[in-house]
Amino acid sequence: MRSFSVVAALFFLLASRALAFTLSVGKVDLAVADILAIPDSPVKQACAAQCTQADQALRACNDDASCLCGPNTVSPLQACEQCMFTELIRTNKPLPDFRAGSTPVLAGMHSRFVVLSTIF
């Protein structure tokens, strides 16, 4: 009985990792905590308010797909990415990181939500 418990615990541990929310952007898979893990830069500083709110919303979901796909998470993420995109254009600076002002991040999130909506 004890060995069954150990095997079951291992199975659930591995399954939880397999079901963790990841976002594919190009050839990079990002965990939720990494979506807005942009190195310090002027664009990050200019959008700190929006991006802090978005990062807190993402982390509060704890990989719960229905939470991540909800408006309380998507709207702040979109506001953060839009702010960074606008700031990059305003200052005419190159991307400090591929996630800053990233249309591919938003497109990847949308694609992931579409896939998840067919599962649930």
Domain residue extents for the chain = 2-119
User: Does residue 105 have a pLDDT over 70?
Assistant: yes
Q: Note the pTM of the prediction, 2 decimals.
A: 0.73
Percent residues over pLDDT 70 in the chain: 77
Sign of the torsion formed by the C-alpha atoms of 51, 56, 57 and 58: positive
Q: Which residue has the higher pLDDT, 43 or 102?
A: 43
Distance of CA 104 to the CA centre of its chain: 12
Token digits of residue 21? 């929310």
Across the strands, what pairs with 22? 31
pLDDT tens profile 52-65: 999 999 999 988 88
Other CB atoms within a 10 A radius of the CB of residue 118 amount to 7
